[in-house]
């Protein structure tokens, strides 16, 4: 009987660990997404600020809709 209870306990521990790891991964992914969004917003804000300071408002409008052009501008202004 004791062996059966030990197996049940071990199975419960395993299930608990799996659920904990799954929750940890989900929380880590959410944190990573939030950090990525913040970094992207800061990067775009920096680009817009630099373009506006140089009077390049047309480039702001184009960068808002053209991701390839936006990447070129990031390189031009060395925004990582």
Question: Does the pLDDT at position 65 exceed 80?
Answer: yes
Q: What are the structure tokens assigned to 55, written together?
A: 């009077």
d(CA 6, CA 3): 5
Provide the whole-model pTM: 0.71
- The lowest-confidence range among 21-25, 45-49, 54-58, 69-73 is 21-25
User: What does the pLDDT read at residue 1?
Assistant: 61
Q: Left (φ > 0), alpha (ψ -120 to 50) or beta: where does 66 sit?
A: beta
**Domain assignment of residue 63, given as a range:** 2-76
Instruction: Give the chain's domain count.
Output: 1
- Which of 24 and 1 is assigned the larger pLDDT? 24
């Amino acid at each position: 009987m004791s062996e059966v209870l030990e197996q049940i306990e071990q199975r419960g521990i395993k299930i608990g660990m799996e659920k904990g790891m799954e929750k940890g991964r989900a929380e880590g992914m959410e944190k990573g997404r939030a950090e990525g969004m913040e970094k992207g917003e800061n990067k775009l804000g920096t680009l817009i600020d630099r373009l506006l300071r140089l009077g390049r408002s047309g480039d702001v409008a184009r960068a808002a809709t053209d991701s390839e052009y936006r990447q070129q501008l990031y390189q031009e202004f060395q925004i990582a």
